[in-house]
Chain A
C-alpha cells in the first residue's frame, strides 16, 4: 500500500516535490510507493491550486488540522526556514515522517534537538541534500570512488547569483524573504548546499582550520551578507584537503560550479548548465593523455550543450537530483532500509555550517 504524503508550503519549490509525488517527472509513476494525499498552505487559494493541479485529495490552511484528519505517513516541509523546527516537531509528534527543505534548522544544537524528537517519536526525519543526487555530481563521485582522480586534494564550490537584484525573491524590498532573519541571511540558504557537497565529494575529512570572510559588498541594508569567501583545510584519510567555498552576488554568469582536484586529475561541473569535464590519465598513455583529454572533453562539452538545449526545451531544470533523492527516499521507506541522507550527513553538514558562522561571529 502506498505511503500517504502531505506537502506543507506550496511556494516555488513545491512544484518539484508535487511533480514528483504526482508522477510527472522523468522518474515516472511512483504511485505504488507514495500517493499525494493532502497539501497545506497559509493561503487557501495557494493550497487549493496545488491540490487541484497535482491531484491531492484535500487542501488545508492549518497543518494541525491536516495532521489530525488526514494522518499522513510522510510530510514534506517546504515552508520558510524559520518555521522548520516548529512544523517538523508537530509532524513527528503526530506520527508522520518528515522530509524537510534545507536548512532544516538554524543551528547544529537545534538539529540535535530535532533528531532527538524524531527518535523519541520513533519517526524518520531527513533534510533535502538534493544536488548530491544530480547526475553530474554522482558521476564525479563515481570517478573519485574508482580512483580516477587519485587522492582528493582540493574541492572548490562556487555559486554566483544576483540575489541583491530587487527583482529577485531575495532582493525584493517590498516583502523581504524570511531567509534574511537567518544567522547568515540570504547566504544561509546556500550554506547547506556548500556543506553537504563538500562533505560528499571529499568524505572523511575533518576541517580543523576554517577561515570565512562574510561581506556585504552591495551595501544593501536588507542583506546581512551578500558575499562569502571561505577557505577550509582539513585532514582526511589520504592527507590534507583544501576547500574553497564562494558565494558571489556580483559576477556573471549565474553559476553553481564544483571542481574536485586529486593527485591524478580533476573533474568539474556546473549544476545550472550541466557538463562534466575530466582531466585524468587516459589509456593512451601519459604523452597522449593531454590530447585525449582535450578531444574527449570537447566532445563531452558539445554533447552537454545539445543535452542542455534539450533540457531547456523540455522544461527540465536543475532539480533532477531532487526527484532522484525523493525516489530513493520512498524506495528506502518502502523497504525499511536507510534513507539516502542520514542523520550523520545532516549533522556533519550542520556542524560545518556552524563552523563557517563562527567566523562570522568573531570577525
Chain B
C-alpha cells in the first residue's frame, strides 16, 4: 500500500511514517517547502520513502502528490497562531486535500482529530469521556485549535458522506514523547511560573509510537471491503493512564520541570466560574482573559474524567505497545540511527 502522510515532518508524523515503513508500506511523506528532508531523520535513506514538498494551504502540487496513493493519513494542522492562521492551515489545508483526493480518486482517508473537540463543560467531573461524549457546539470561547479542529471534523463528515469515500477519524488524547514530555495538561503558564492545576486527574495520554501504530492500523483497514471503519470515530489513549501526580513523578528524573505552583482543581474551577459570571454580568462577557481563566478552556485541560480505548482495541485490533515507563525511557534515549525497517521488538514493554 502507498500511504500519503501529511504533516510527516512533525512530532507525531515522523513516528507515523516510521510505523508505516516498518509495516512494509510505501510512504509518501508531505513536507512543507521550508522543511529539509533531514527532519525525517534516518527515514530519508529508506527506499520505500517518497517525499512530496508542498503547502496544503495552496492546492498547487496536491494532485500530483496524490497520484498512485491508496490511503491518506492526514495529520497536518496548526497548533499556534491566531484564529485565521490556524484556520488557513487546518481548515483550508484539509479542504484542499479533500478536493484533490476527489480529483485523483483517492478514496481512503484516516483523518486525525483531537480530544479538544469535546464539550468538557457538558461532562460532570469523573464522567467517562468516550466516543459518545458530546462535541462542543458553541466553541466561541474555546481556543483557536479546538475551534478549527471542529470545523475540520465537519469537512471529514461531509467527505465521508460522498459516495465511494471511506473515512475514519482518530481522536488522539495528549500525545507525548521525545521533547514533548511536559505538556499543556500539567499546568498553565503565567510568565516564568506554571500553575499546576489539580493533581489527581487522569491524563488522557498516548505515547507517540503507540498512536502511530493506531494510525497505520486504521490506514491498513479503511476501505478494506468490510466497511467496518467507515464513518467511525475512534479515541486513542493508552492503557493504565497515570494521574497528573503520577506522570510528573515519572518524568521528574528525565525532564526539567518548570517552576510551578500547585493549585487545587476545585479552587481554580470556583475562581474561574466567579470571574466568568462577573464578566457576563458587568460587561456582557466581552472581556478576554488568559485561557486557563476561561471555564471552557480550563475544563478542557484539567477536568478529572475517565477515558477508554476499548473501541480502538475492538475496531483496529490495536494494543499500545509501550507503557508509561518504557515510553519515557524511549523518549529520552539517544535517538536511533538505525534504518526504519529494523525491528524494535526488543524495546517493547511487557
Contact = CB atoms under 8 A, between A and B. Distances in A.
Interface of A: 11-12, 15, 43-46, 49, 166-167, 169, 173-175, 312-315
A312 B289 CA distance: 9
A11 B289 CA distance: 24
Nearest to B94: A45
A46 B92 contact: yes
A175 B286 contact: no
A315 B288 contact: yes
A45 B85 contact: no
B187 to A, nearest CB: 23
B190 to A, nearest CB: 16
Ranked nearest first, the 4 interchain pairs of A and B with the lowest CB-CB distance are A12-B84, A173-B34, A174-B55, A174-B32
Contact of A49 (B33, B34, B91, B288): B91
B145 to A, nearest CB: 15
B144 interface: no
B180 interface: no
Contacts of B84: 11-12, 15
B155 interface: yes
Contacts of B88: 11
B87 interface: yes
9 contacts: A12-B82, A12-B85, A43-B92, A45-B151, A46-B87, A46-B91, A49-B91, A313-B287, A314-B287
Contact of B286 (A44, A166, A312, A314): A314
B85 A169 contact: yes
Chain B residues touching A, range: 20 to 34
Interface in B60-92: 80-82, 84-85, 87-88, 91-92
A190 to B, nearest CB: 19
B92 A314 contact: no
Given A166-B34, A169-B85, A175 B95 contact: no
Contacts of B283: 314
B95 A44 contact: yes
B157 interface: no
A169 B84 CA distance: 11
A119 B32 CA distance: 46
A219 to B, nearest CB: 16
Contacts of B95: 43-45
A314 B91 contact: no
Contacts of B80: 167
B57 interface: yes
Contacts of A167: 80-81
A46 B94 CA distance: 12
Interface of B: 32-34, 55, 57-58, 80-82, 84-85, 87-88, 91-92, 94-95, 151, 155, 283, 286-289
Given A169-B85, A315-B288, 4 more contacts: A174-B32, A174-B55, A314-B287, A315-B286
B95 to A, nearest CB: 5
Contacts of A313: 287-289
Contacts of A45: 91-92, 94-95, 151, 155
Nearest to B82: A12
A43 B155 CA distance: 12
Nearest to A310: B287
B33 A173 contact: yes
Contacts of A49: 87, 91, 151
Contacts of B58: 175
Contacts of B32: 174
Contacts of A175: 55, 57-58
A169 B83 CA distance: 13
Contacts of A315: 286-288
A44 B99 CA distance: 11
A254 B286 CA distance: 26
Nearest to B155: A45
A297 B287 CA distance: 28
Nearest to A46: B92
A218 to B, nearest CB: 15
B288 A314 contact: yes
Contacts of A11: 84, 88
Contacts of B155: 45
Contacts of B287: 313-315
A5 B87 CA distance: 24
Contacts of A46: 87, 91-92
A169 B151 CA distance: 22
A180 B84 CA distance: 20
A166 B81 CA distance: 12
Contacts of A173: 33-34
Contacts of A169: 85
A83 to B, nearest CB: 15
A313 B286 CA distance: 8
A166 B85 CA distance: 13
A174 B288 CA distance: 31
Nearest to A41: B92
A169 B88 CA distance: 11
Nearest to B287: A313
Contacts of B34: 166, 173-174
A18 to B, nearest CB: 12
A287 to B, nearest CB: 45
B101 to A, nearest CB: 15
A314 B287 CA distance: 4
A46 B92 CA distance: 7
A19 to B, nearest CB: 12
B28 to A, nearest CB: 18
